[in-house]
Amino acid sequence: MASVPCAEPEPDAVTSSADPADAETPAALRRATADPLFREALGIAGGSLSAALDRLDAGIDPGPKRLRGMAMSVSRYALRMSGRPTPFGLFAGVATGRFGPNARVVVRGHAAKAVRLDAERLHERVQAWLALPEVRSRVDVVLNDLSRVRDGRLILPGPTRELSVRHSALVEHVCATVTHPVPYESVLDRTAEAFPDAPRDRLDAAVAQLLRYGFLISSITPHRLDDALFDRIAGAIEELPEAAATFRATRIAVREYEKVPPGEGGDAWRRLTALLDPDADTDHPPAQVDLRMDADIVLPTAVGDEAAAYADAMWALSDAWVTHLHMRDYRDRFLDRYGTTRLVPLAELVDPHRGLGFPSGYEAARAGGGPAPDDYRADRDRRVLTAELVQEALLGDDRELRLTPDLIERLAATMRPEGDVPAPPPNSLELNLQLLADDTAALDEGRFRLIGSAQAGSWLAGAMTGRFAELTDMTEELAGLVAAAADPGTVPAQISFAPTGRRALNMSQVPELLPYRIPVGIHADRNDPHCLDWRELLVGLDPIGLTLLMPDTGRRVLPVVPHMVALDHWAPEVVRLMVDIAFGRSRTWTGWDWAGLEVLPQLPRVTHGRVVAAPRRWIPSRAMRASVGEPREFDRALREWSDRYEVPDRVQLVDGDRAHGLDLDSAWHRTLLRHEMRRSRIALLEDLTERGRGCGWAAGHRTELVVPLVRRRPTRTTRPDVPAVPARIPAPLPDRYHLPGEDWLFVKLYAIPGTHDELLRTHLPTLLDTVGGHIDRWFFIRYLDPRPHVRVRLHGDPARLREVVLPELARRVRVMRERGAIRSMALDVYEPETDRYAGPDALVAAERLFTLDSRSALAQLGMRARGGLAVPNEVLIAVNHALLLESLGDWDWCSWVVSAFVKGPAQTVFRRHRPLVRELIRPGRTAAAVEQRLGVSALADMWTRPAEGRAYGRTVLSDSGRRPANARHENALLGLLHMQHNRLLGIDRASEGRGYAILRGIASDHLGRLAHPPRQWPTDVEGDRRDDG
């Protein structure tokens, strides 16, 4: 799709004089707005400015201050109309395009308008009408699926606060009645039958209150702003003659205005606004207008190929956890709470008391005091290399940083931590690019440039163009694009929701593109087989994040939002979460990133091939910011700044996603710049289209392209294999939790991570020595969320825990606090990770193994403090992993390890330590090797003599004990290894990955030696060459 400015007036036409004083006159404003198309566009863009211009035309003097504000607004709109092709009212329109062997471009002008009533204003009217009994009686109502019951109250989350009503018998009855759409009068009838002593008018008032505050949603509450909705509204207000007549007249006025060509619709627009906003009391227009351009656009395939190559390059440079760091934390919390195989209904998951609530940083999480995740910070190596490249580019003649293949590889290498497994690229995305070429012949000859936009695009092909689907007759094509985002076998489903800011509903008007849909907080029939109830979707883990599944078939669901409404601002939190689950992986396509250098006063142009990923950019100086109130001082500071940094006269002013051209040689434009700098921290970019340069191919129009890209499907999917999911929702596990005073005592000892080793090897053993006779199992883990602490869990007879263990714990904690060993302590509820460790039948055996591993960790921390176990951390944890796996029984753990852990870059750590590792890990006799090499018989005895390991092994191993019984048991083993690293070395993903790499390396080494007996290996050196693990 291409977006094109509706007209290309010269910016200087706004003010014929370079003197700001001349620009701020009624005559100058009348000249600037004399063009009928521009005046009509102004009326649609902002009601208050248009009304002020009408008063000016009528001879009413607005006064100097207001006149200056009007002049600035008109100037900005004129500059926008001439230079910014982003669709907006009549300022710019959209057209479809395609790629072909040769370029052909014909822009005839504007072809059609699409006009809709403003969603916010319509919602206000509907709410007023629903307050009337004669309207309510003619609508259907349904329960808002965002509501839930909590502690005797019906709760409805809101954008700033939640609403609640008492969940009385009456409210409970109404909610049970309207689980699917029911006529309002039928609701009253059924409620009257259930409560015969209550007057009908009181019942009506109670149900009407539920409707008024959003617990119930009516069939005329705006969501999809189409003729079907307007017909329902017309039918509902039939008994209101005046309102019905006005509504009919409004629909007629909308159609009449649509038919009038742009530039000739001023009177029709005024008639429409008089009906919709007779008091002219709002700043925003009463209707949404979009424009389709009459254009035939065929671009050479080389343009699409260049965009695709650019997308590939930027994917290589997209760092991990730039955009969705909160989802890494959320996945970890899910894993800790539910394990690797548990499937959790989404409604339960987002309940802050029954589940996890929402991720940190969401509105609901902040209201509940959840911690905000750390912001993304580029790795030091990336920053250093980027800074070096920026400096070199700024010292060059053309101030350009060229991204060559070698340079991309160097930058990418700084972002791939050791052990990182490459994430698969997105299935689809779309790029927003400006195209520059002198003419169509230049396009065919490859003489063109593409410029990246401030709004780079979207992670879903079709999202940027979704709201124009019907206007451009692209519904079928967009449906195919949106569906292409799903993996084979996955069900793409379109989320439909009512934004929390009602005006945002104007931007989300997308037809149904997919067979399946997920309604959230809107009027819908959840009994429709193609309607997926979000509350029943199941959330589980897969190798690259969280995933959503259908409860009846177990098929994966890809929730998509095919429009660009900002979900973090305007969507219910559950909508944002579903999309974050689908797209919030460790890596997302982010485009060019400055690695923290955005604060520099100037940045070079960044190019990849024929694509300008980032134009040259400057930040106004401190002296300019300090003098915005003094025109002469400002001009002096601007001259010094522009001379120093070689800023051209023609630039683009950028404020977020707003941009327009400026001529710094114009005094009036400098006035505009001063005013913008008062309001926000803007940046200035080089204007690569100044004076129409590069716009000849589109008849002088500055044009943006939205280029959809779909990943080529490999012969075999690159998505990691995922365990099969049950065809139906699993029976929920009983809520098993243990409160203080029962059979588990759970204490949190808060201390900074650097003191955890000392706390564990000094203070915890003293406590255990004292209370050991009163407990039968115990274990500890380290934890960071929300504050660093060590969790200690002690099991025993409840009476002994209360009477002996707890008082002793109090005494020991007081000593720890007085010595400064801990910050504080807390008792908490112990909720066993039953599902994570193979289910309830295996839980006690798992907890006994936790005890063994905790004893082992404490012993080794003590040995290391005394100078023992002098081996690298990654080798030591690999040895522990081997000891644990061998303690489970006589089984082929090497084959399992090779299949469970993917070989990656971290494998170099095994090659570095191979001789030592071969001495310490000898599959089948590792304990003996450890005792012989390190002289620690206690550690060897600890892992070979007790029965804890074999007891748990009998649960999780099958096939005559040769491998884990199923994916659930395999995940239990992975959980054991993960927690073993946690106890011994702490929380460190990179360190954990290095340990697994060594474990995999020695396992592969062992299997290779079994497959190739020593007589086939001439020397040990040659053997080293043949096997890299």
- Tell me: the pLDDT tens digits for 886-912? 999 999 999 999 999 988 777 789 999
Enumerate the β-bridge partners of residue 709: 429
Least confident range from 60-74, 116-130, 754-768: namely: 60-74
Q: Which amino acid is at 461?
A: A
Decide if pLDDT at 752 tops 60: yes
Strand 400-402 vs strand 605-608: parallel, antiparallel, or unpaired? parallel
**672 lies in some domain:** yes
Q: What is the pLDDT of residues 190-227, one digit of tens each?
A: 999 999 999 999 999 999 999 999 999 999 999 999 99
| pLDDT for res 111 | 82
Burial of 838 (0-12, 13-18, 19+ CB in 10 A): buried
Whether residue 789 sits in one domain with residue 755: yes
| pLDDT for res 1014 | 64
| pLDDT for res 720 | 41
Burial of 108 (0-12, 13-18, 19+ CB in 10 A): exposed
Q: Which amino acid is at 653?
A: L
Residue ending a domain, choose from 687, 711, 744: 687
| pLDDT for res 717 | 41
Peptide bond into 786 cis (omega under 30): yes
Reported confidence tier of residue 16, pLDDT bands at 50, 70, 90: very low
Q: What is the pLDDT of residues 598-637, one digit of tens each?
A: 999 999 999 999 999 999 999 999 999 999 999 999 999 9
Whether residue 898 sits in one domain with residue 970: yes
| pLDDT for res 369 | 46
Q: How would you label 417-426 residue by residue, b for 16+ Cβ within 10 Å and e otherwise?
A: eebbbebbbb
Q: Which whole number is the average pLDDT over 978-998? A: 95
Whether residue 156 sits in one domain with residue 55: no
Reported confidence tier of residue 313, pLDDT bands at 50, 70, 90: very high
Q: Which two tokens stand for residue 301?
A: 């395939």
Enumerate the β-bridge partners of residue 683: 654
14 to each of 24, 666, 685, 734, how far by Cα in Å?
Answer: 11, 12, 22, 72
Q: Which whole number is the average pLDDT over 63-92? A: 89
Whether residue 1008 sits in one domain with residue 866: yes
Q: Which whole number is the average pLDDT over 915-919? A: 96
Q: What is the pLDDT of residues 258-274, one digit of tens each?
A: 999 999 999 999 999 99
Three-state DSSP state, 883: helix
Neighbours of 1017 (CB within 10 A): 16
Decide if pLDDT at 709 tops 60: yes
Q: Which two tokens stand for residue 973?
A: 């083993």
**558 lies in some domain:** no
Reported confidence tier of residue 85, pLDDT bands at 50, 70, 90: confident
Three-state DSSP state, 776: coil
Decide if pLDDT at 1029 tops 50: no
Whether residue 938 sits in one domain with residue 920: yes
| pLDDT for res 4 | 63
Secondary structure element (H or E) that encloses residue 108, with its range: strand 104-117
Q: Which two tokens stand for residue 517?
A: 């849909």
Structural domains counted in the chain = 5
| pLDDT for res 365 | 47
Q: Which whole number is the average pLDDT over 841-851? A: 95
| pLDDT for res 842 | 93
| pLDDT for res 785 | 76
Decide if pLDDT at 715 tops 60: no
Q: What is the pLDDT of residues 339-391, one digit of tens each?
A: 777 899 999 999 999 999 999 888 754 444 444 454 555 678 899 999 999 99
Q: Considering the chain, what is the average pLDDT of its residues?
A: 90
| pLDDT for res 33 | 92
Q: What is the pLDDT of residues 424-446, one digit of tens each?
A: 899 999 999 999 999 999 999 99
Enumerate the β-bridge partners of residue 156: 163
**342 lies in some domain:** no
Reported confidence tier of residue 735, pLDDT bands at 50, 70, 90: low
Decide if pLDDT at 279 tops 80: no
Whether residue 44 sits in one domain with residue 145: no
Residue ending a domain, choose from 206, 221, 240: 240
Enumerate the β-bridge partners of residue 789: 750, 783
Whether residue 988 sits in one domain with residue 964: yes
Decide if pLDDT at 12 tops 60: no
Range(s) of the domain holding residue 800: 735-831
Whether residue 861 sits in one domain with residue 821: no
| Greatest mean pLDDT among 13-27, 303-317, 582-596, 933-947 | 303-317
**212 lies in some domain:** yes
Decide if pLDDT at 1028 tops 70: no
Decide if pLDDT at 245 tops 50: yes
| pLDDT for res 374 | 46
Q: What is the pLDDT of residues 46-62, one digit of tens each?
A: 778 888 898 998 889 88
Q: What is the pLDDT of residues 459-501, one digit of tens each?
A: 999 999 999 999 999 999 999 999 999 999 999 999 999 999 9
Whether residue 741 sits in one domain with residue 674: no
- Of residues 14 and 5, more confidence is placed in 5
**504 lies in some domain:** no
Decide if pLDDT at 726 tops 70: no
Residue ending a domain, choose from 814, 831, 848: 831
Burial of 375 (0-12, 13-18, 19+ CB in 10 A): exposed
**246 lies in some domain:** no
Q: How would you label 200-232 residue by residue, b for 16+ Cβ within 10 Å and e otherwise?
A: eeebbebbbebbeebbbbbbbbbbebeeebbeb
Enumerate the β-bridge partners of residue 433: 452, 705
Whether residue 205 sits in one domain with residue 141: yes
Decide if pLDDT at 812 tops 70: yes
| pLDDT for res 82 | 82
Residue (of 267, 260, 263) closest to 35 by Cα position: 263
**215 lies in some domain:** yes
Reported confidence tier of residue 946, pLDDT bands at 50, 70, 90: confident
Q: Helix-strand-coil percent breakdown of the chain, rounded to 5?
A: 45, 20, 35
Whether residue 968 sits in one domain with residue 870: yes
Q: Which whole number is the average pLDDT over 123-136? A: 97
**501 lies in some domain:** no
Q: What percent of the chain has pLDDT over 90?
A: 73
Reported confidence tier of residue 410, pLDDT bands at 50, 70, 90: very high
How far is the C-alpha of 742 from the C-alpha of 737, rounded, in Å? 10
Whether residue 925 sits in one domain with residue 781: no
Q: Which two tokens stand for residue 538?
A: 């199941």
CATH code (residue 808)? 3.30.70.100
Reported confidence tier of residue 661, pLDDT bands at 50, 70, 90: very high
